[in-house]
Chain A
Amino acid sequence: QQPVQSPQAVILREGEDAVINCSSSKALYSVHWYRQKHGEAPVFLMILLKGGEQKGHEKISASFNEKKQQSSLYLTASQLSYSGTYFCGTERQNAGNMLTFGGGTRLMVKP
């Protein structure tokens, strides 16, 4: 089952913060975050493992709440280069290590 991402779209001014959420109805083993710019391939941001620590990448960090089967991606002091569509991919326990991706969150950062 596809994880649910929220919000579906968000518009920010440069320097503002944003949070993107990803939730699943199934028990998760890991959550992967990717960013895709228009017309390009998705690019890996980070992986969060069950029982693992919060990860960080530049001014982008993420957390994984195992009890709620939710992950959140935090974008701090957003830059124009952060614009794109963010996807979470979830790996379920005992499901053959396949990733199931959410529908994506479109982020636009304006000057």
Chain B
Amino acid sequence: NAGVTQTPKFQVLKTGQSMTLQCAQDMNHNSMYWYRQDPGMGLRLIYYSASEGTTDKGEVPNGYNVSRLNKREFSLRLESAAPSQTSVYFCASSVEQGLETQYFGPGTRLLVL
């Protein structure tokens, strides 16, 4: 099992460009999450999907959109990237939402110039 995979590993964007971060899990988990990690801020939840077909906003959703394509895949889209979105983005999944271990992907390092 690969667990949680993310693509790309690194990306450099110019302000205003758009991109989609891909995430897939092969553990048959129902819930998936997108976090961003900035120095000294810990992990902040951007969006989550409690189950296939549902998505909800987390703490910091502004500037992002998500799609739960199917049970395995959960993508994060930046429509018009801004320097404030420079961060490390982690995707995670769990069997169900809450009271469950979250398994994290390796992360995507994004730099917006």
A binds B: yes
Residues of chain A touching chain B, judged by Cβ–Cβ distance below 8 Å, are 2, 30, 32, 40-44, 47, 49, 87, 89, 91, 96-104
Q: Does B103 contact A (CB under 8 A)?
A: yes
Main SS at interface, chain A: strand
Bound state CA distance, A49 and B100, in angstroms? 11
B106 contacts A40, C-beta separation under 8 Å? yes
Q: Does B40 contact A (CB under 8 A)?
A: yes
List of A residues within 8 angstroms of B44 by Cβ: 101
- Scoring B42, B97, B101, B106 by chain A CB atoms within 10 A of each residue's CB, the highest score goes to B42
Q: Does B34 contact A (CB under 8 A)?
A: no
- Given the known inter-chain contacts A47-B99, A100-B59, please indicate yes or no for A41 contacting B106, CB distance below 8 A: yes
- Given the known inter-chain contacts A40-B106, A41-B104, A43-B104, please indicate yes or no for A49 contacting B99, CB distance below 8 A: yes
Q: Does B113 contact A (CB under 8 A)?
A: no
